[in-house]
Structures are given as C-alpha cells and as structure tokens.
Structure 1
C-alpha cells in the first residue's frame, strides 16, 4: 500500500466557516474523509496533517522524509507565496510532491500568483474547489506508479 501524506496549511482548519465564495462550505474533516476513501480505492493510505504553525509543518515534512512516504500533497495556503522554510523542507523529499489549491491562485490577488514551491513540485492543481484534492491524489498515485 502506498503511503501518501496530505499537508494542509494555515487557516485550513476553518474550511466550512471562512470565505464560502472561494472555498465553499466543505469542512477539512470532509475533505480528509474523501481523500482517505479514494486512497483506499487506489491502494494508498492517506495521512492528513494540518497546522497553523510553520515550524510544525516543516517538522512534519521532515518526518515524512524519514518515514519514506511515497508522495506528498500540499495545500499550504498563504505559505505557498512566501515560505522559503517550507520550500526548503519540501526540497528534502525524494518523492513526488503535488501542490494544490481549491481556488485558482492565478485568477486572484497578484501576490497569490507566485508559488515559491513551483520549481520543486511535480505539478500544481488549482481552481477546482474540493475536487482539487481528489485530482491531486490521483495525480500523485499515478506519478508514483509510473516511476516504479
């Protein structure tokens, strides 16, 4: 069974409550449940982690490296646009990384157009709401399978 790590960033614990125009009304628990359900159908165990603390995110990425995860999905929220610390932690990984966002970051405020992770991830998926998560999981599983 593949080990996939889903990393949720800052403010994602507020999904379902914050800005329903951008993020809908789905909760983080509902997103995680759908990922774990699809993961089991695809032969992958999905572990989900959310934090509002940048250092905790870096430490979880380090643990993922040490645990030998097969792929990482990350929606870092606002950290996407400025966290070189998280970028450097992600660069340690030797597995596929898929960056995802519920909203289309390229159609939003100018500061959201740049991802400091873009150069080190396998790919980006954005703009499909909660479906961005399941699309990212499918892409990650496919990337792992094609590399074997």
Structure 2
C-alpha cells in the first residue's frame, strides 16, 4: 500500500501565476501540484493537493490528515504569522511536516519574519520559488523512507 502526502496551501495561493508574479512566479498551483504528484508517484506515494483561504478549513484538513496522510507539506501563506490554530492542529499530527514559502520571508516586511508553523515543522524551505514545493516533497519522501 502506498503513502499519502497532503499538500496544503493557504490564503491567496489560488492566485499563483496571476498575483505578484515578480514575487511568486508564473506557475499556477495546478502546475505545482502536478509536478509534486509526478515526483511522489515514483515512490508509490499519492499527493492530496488542497487550498483554502479559510483558516478553519486548513485546520480540518490537518485533522483529516491524522487519519489519512503520512506527511504534510504546507504553505500556510499569511497564516504562518498569525495562526496558533494551525500550529495546534499540526502539533496533533504525528508525521513529518515541511513548511514552504515561495518568497524569502526573512527579506520581506518584519511581520513576516516569524512563523508559528516553523516551531512544529521538521523543515522549512523559503525563498526557493515554486521549486521549494518540489524540494519539500523530496524531503518528506526521504523522511518517510520512500
């Protein structure tokens, strides 16, 4: 039986490819999900790609992942800097978690320099553009022994 990785994306990431391409690039979230699925498929792993602008929906998916997923790759977007609820949900998840940020949050506004999620993450990838997602999938696969 194969493994499952949840690929969770927070607010405004549905606009990838359209919103501030000078920061976030021209790739869409669908493009990223397809690339991640292709990488995972080589290790008999399925990607469950989900995006929501709603904090509670992300929390619900993390709860669901406790029963269905072996690992989580998450780009919580702006919730990185504000959501203790997402942190608490991730703390209840027993598998590996990799946090992804397309931009280098440490080169941006000071309020973006702190991420609550980083305190739970087994790895943080920031500033590598959309390639960060691909790196994160490979790292999760490594942590899962796939």
Cα displacement string for residues 30-57 of structure 1 (whole angstroms, at most 9, x for unaligned residues): 1111111111123211110000011111
Q: Distance in 2 between matches of 1:117 and 1:55?
A: 15
After TM superposition, the structure 1 = structure 2 runs for residues 73-88 of structure 1, keeping only pairs within 5 Å, are 73-88=73-88
Runs of 4+ with >3 A deviation: none
1:119 Cα shift? 1.4
Cα displacement string for residues 49-95 of structure 1 (whole angstroms, at most 9, x for unaligned residues): 0000111110111011022x111000000000110011111110000
1:57 partnered with 2:58: yes
User: Cα RMSD between the aligned structures?
Assistant: 1.0
Q: Distance in 1 between matches of 2:33 and 2:119?
A: 26
Who is 1:132 aligned against? 132
Q: Distance in 1 between matches of 2:104 and 2:130?
A: 12
1:120 Cα shift? 1.0
1:103 partnered with 2:88: no
1:127 Cα shift? 0.7
Who is 1:11 aligned against? 12
Cα displacement string for residues 88-117 of structure 1 (whole angstroms, at most 9, x for unaligned residues): 111100000000111111111111110101
Residue 117 of structure 2 aligns to a residue whose secondary structure is: coil
The unaligned stretches of length 5 or more in structure 1 are: none
Q: Distance in 1 between matches of 2:120 and 2:24?
A: 26
The unaligned stretches of length 5 or more in structure 2 are: none
1:18 Cα shift? 0.2
